[in-house]
């Protein structure tokens, strides 16, 4: 039996020690502007922030100010607070990469996306339940009422 070498860290500790922070969180009241001036001030000046989740999790004005002050090295953003991001203080910087919310894109991923969508349509039309329902409670309610799925 090998003991786990995992160490639990709280958010503040992670922000202080991380070289890269990749954000994968839903946008909720608790995560809106989670990455703000206070958080950026705690980060290493060599750290990078990557946001592929939801734009408003990162406070763009605070990120721009932190970059200007050298509080972190750079950012890669697949999502922005406001889309399209016209007038964002993050555009046109050498240390910021902005993609148009398509960082998943490749020929293979597009084929996979289309195939999975078609397979789900076939599943539902043949009376089976979808694999990943958007609203599982509604599906359960429909099944409870005797709907075929």
Which of 54, 59, 60, 81 is labelled catalytic? 54
Bridge partners, 48 (sequence order): 20, 74
Q: What do you get for the CA distance between the two ends of the chain, in Å?
A: 45
Burial class (CB in 10 A: 0-12, 13-18, 19+), 29: exposed
CB atoms within 10 A of CB 57: 21
Instruction: For residue 101, indicate whether it is catalytic.
Output: yes
37 near 59, Cβ under 8 Å?
A: yes
Identify whether 32 is a catalytic site residue: no
* Neighbouring residues of 88: CB distance < 8 A, sequence distance ≥ 6: 60, 80, 81, 82, 98
> How many CB atoms lie under 10 A from the CB of residue 25?
13
13, 38, 83, 112: which one is catalytic?
Answer: 83
Is 13 an active-site residue? no
Number of residues assigned to the chain:
149
Catalytic residue positions?
A: 54, 83, 101
């Amino acid at each position: 039996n090998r003991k786990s070498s995992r160490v639990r860290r709280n958010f503040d500790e992670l922000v202080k020690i991380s070289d890269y922070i990749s954000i994968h969180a839903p946008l909720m009241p608790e995560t809106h502007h989670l990455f703000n001036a206070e958080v950026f001030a705690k980060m290493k000046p060599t750290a990078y922030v990557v946001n592929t989740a939801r734009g408003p999790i990162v406070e763009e004005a605070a990120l721009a100010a932190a970059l200007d002050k050298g509080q972190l090295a750079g950012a890669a953003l697949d999502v922005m607070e406001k889309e399209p991001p016209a007038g964002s203080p993050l555009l046109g910087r050498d240390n910021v990469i902005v993609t148009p919310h398509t960082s998943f894109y490749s020929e293979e991923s597009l084929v996979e996306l289309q195939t999975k969508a078609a397979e789900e349509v076939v599943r539902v039309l043949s009376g089976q339940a979808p694999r990943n329902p958007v609203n599982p409670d509604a599906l359960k309610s429909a099944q409870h009422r005797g709907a075929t799925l």
